[in-house]
Amino acid sequence: MNTPKKILILENDIKTAKTLRDGLLASFPDVRVIFDVSAAADEIRSFCPDAVIADGGIAPAKSISAFCRELNALSPAPLFLFAARAHSAERVRALNAGADIFWERIPDTRELTAQILAVWRRYLTPPPADGQKKALPRQIEYPGLFISLSNYSVFCEGNSVEMPPKELELLYFLAKSPNQVFTREQLLDHVWGYDYLGDARTVDVHIKRIREKLAGRGAWSLDTVWGVGYCFRVISSDSASDVPSVPSAQTDSV
């Protein structure tokens, strides 16, 4: 099972940032700190963190909930937020806007590490279906590609591919309906949920990251259908398992 490796800290206090970074490096191999919120977007896109820890005070011109929505639009990673003196209504809005955990004061790094791992396990563990004690295996296989939603793993050309949960869920959703075209809005609804407040660009960012990680596309490809959305195109679906045969859609590869 995937485990978090890359942690991004958004903090404008040097002492706090150093304490967090040094403590988290004991459990996570790559921990980075951003002190300037204006540089956060570029760093998140290039770093692709597995978890984001943010001081709500780093973006004083924004509301905390708006800050959460921006971070969620940039990354599917779990978001851990802390802000001193935030009142109850602000904390509720932040949690509704995408924060996974909200602290009034940041815990010590041992507790923080445990909470990151606990939230990550929930991200990777799909809930059992109603009336079932155990969810049935959910996996799809194409030539050179294996996707499992049971243990959140992806293998491409025999190599394990690290993917945050939302990237994997998006890939799985498209691959289980080969050659079917989905709009960005449909993908947001099915993968992120109807109450997600991000915009359609979130889908574009995730598709770009998935394409960068998958190589050796011969029998299948992740295509853009210009003016519509995306589809998982299969040249021949004879080798795919657990997937119905669907008529081919006219697409343009990117």
Residue with tokens 């040094």: 22
7-57 tens-digit pLDDT: 999 998 899 999 999 999 999 999 999 998 888 888 888 888 888 999 888
Q: Which CATH number fits domain 6-124: 3.40.50.2300, 3.80.10.10, 1.10.3720.10, 3.40.50.20?
A: 3.40.50.2300
- In this prediction, residues 129-137 reach a mean pLDDT of 47
Which token pair is 120?
């990550």
156-172 tens-digit pLDDT: 888 888 888 888 999 99
Each domain of the chain, given as residue ranges in start order, spans: 6-124, 139-239
- Spelled out in words, what is the top-level CATH class assigned to the domain 139-239? mainly alpha
* Residues in CB range of 232: below 8 A, 6 or more apart: 171, 174, 175, 177, 178, 179, 180, 220, 221, 222, 223
194-238 tens-digit pLDDT: 555 566 788 888 999 899 888 656 789 999 998 889 999 987 544
* Residues in CB range of 42: below 8 A, 6 or more apart: none
Mean of all residue pLDDT scores within the chain: 79
Give how far Cα 187 sits from Cα of 65, 171, 246, Å: 23, 10, 18
- Rounded CA gap, 68 and 145, in Å? 34
Split at pLDDT 50, 70, 90, the class of 75 is confident
pLDDT at 100 over 60: yes
| pLDDT at 7 (0 to 100) | 93
